[in-house]
Each structure stands twice: as structure tokens, then as C-alpha cells.
Amino acid sequence: MPPDPTAGPSDDFLIAGMLGGDWAALNKLIERYDRLVRYTILRGARERCTHDPYWLESVASATWAGFVRSIQRHPDQLPKSVRAYLTAIARNQVVSALRGVPAPDDAAQSIDSFVELITATLDEPVDTLSQLELLETLRICLSELADDDRTMASQLTAITERRWLDAAAALGISESTLRSRWKRTLDRLRDCVRRKTGLSLAPGSPDDDP
């Protein structure tokens, strides 16, 4: 069985340590409750989170910053339940963030289309949360690709439907060049994800598993 994240010092003890300047105590609270925070955010804005894992990261960071500020401002009014307190803060942060969400810029569209293909298959929130952690790494790997490779994403639908001629024509390249570049791009993504996480993406090939 995995270790119990609540084992060890009590929440009150860790909060007291945090107030005393022991940031290791805060790190322990984050280790204990960060997954709950992210799950709460995901439930409140699943579409936004699956579209942009960085948004989830940003709201989670804002939740913890809000938690620390609140505790420091009211050290004599500590929450009876840290779990419930963090959940409430996370929900409030979701509402605030959604009110100020800008539309994705054009430069992000090619990466987003890769991500949308993957997130379309995600179902259960807990499973989705785990996958989003991988997607954050995948998005970093995608951003490291050459611009020409990322432009292929504009024809992702045609590629995944094996309409190679249509996709190649739209990109202004030959079908053989597109197939070769697509295989090279997938290989680079797999290598990048493996280096950063130790995980492997599905093997596939440009012919049988776009």
C-alpha cells in the first residue's frame, strides 16, 4: 500500500511550524494536500484544466499562496479542518481565475490541438488528474519542438484520420515528407517524455497509430 500522506505531525503542528518560519512544515502540508487541491480545481473547471494543464498549475499555486496569506493574517483563527479550508480556497480561486481567463493566443493553438487529442479520451476525474501531470510534461516537450514540427498540429485531424494527401497539401509539403516528419516528431516527443518522467508513450507509427 502507498504511504499514508496524513501520517506524521498533525496539521496544527505543521501550521504552527509554518507560522514560525519553518517552510519545511509548509512543504509537508503541500505534500499532504496538494492532490486534493488539484482535484478540487479539476472538478470546478475540468474543461479549462484539460485544455490547459498550466492553468491548473497556476490556480493550485494561487490556492496555496492564499492559504499561507490567510493563516499569517489570522494566526489566532486557525481552520478546524485544513482539508475543508483548502477545498474552499481552491473553489474560490477557480471562480476568480475563470472570470479573468483570456482566450488562448494563436501561438498556443498548435500545442493545444495535440493536447486536445489526448484529453478527449480521459474520463474519470482522478484518472484525468494523473494524466494532467503527464500532460504538463508533454506540453513542455511540445514547446521544445521546432516551429515547423509544431505547425503540423494544424492538420492533426487530417493526420489522425489518415488523410495524408489533404494534410500535406494544406502544409505545402509532399505526403512522404509529412509522414517522415510526423514519425520524427512522435519519436522526439516520446524520447523527451521518457527523459523527464521515465514513462513511455504508446509506440505507434505514422501508418498505424497517428
Q: CA-to-CA distance for 155 and 169, rounded, in angstroms? A: 10
Could you please report the per-residue DSSP string of the chain? -PPPTT-SS-HHHHHHHHHTT-HHHHHHHHHHHHHHHHHHHHHHSHHHHHH-HHHHHHHHHHHHHHHHHHHHH-TTS--S-HHHHHHHHHHHHHHHHHHTPPPPPHHHHHHHHHHHHHHTT--SHHHHHHHHHHHHHHHHHHHTS-HHHHHGGGGHHHHHTT-HHHHHHHHTS-HHHHHHHHHHHHHHHHHHHHHHHS-------TTT--
- Alpha carbons 21 and 80: distance in angstroms, whole number: 21
Given a contact cutoff of 8 angstroms between Cβ atoms, the answer to whether 14 and 29 are in contact is yes
pLDDT at 12: 93
Q: What is the pLDDT along the chain (210 residues), one digit of tens a residue?
A: 344 555 688 999 999 999 998 989 999 999 999 998 988 888 888 888 877 778 888 899 999 999 999 899 888 888 888 988 898 888 888 888 887 754 444 434 444 444 444 444 444 444 555 566 666 677 778 778 888 787 887 777 788 778 889 888 888 889 899 888 888 888 888 788 778 776 655 544 344 443
First to last CA, the chain: 37
Query: Which domains, and CATH codes, for the chain?
Result: 11-99 (1.10.1740.10), 106-197 (1.10.10.10)
pTM: 0.50
**CA 72/CA 105 separation, integer angstroms:** 37
The residue count for the chain: 210
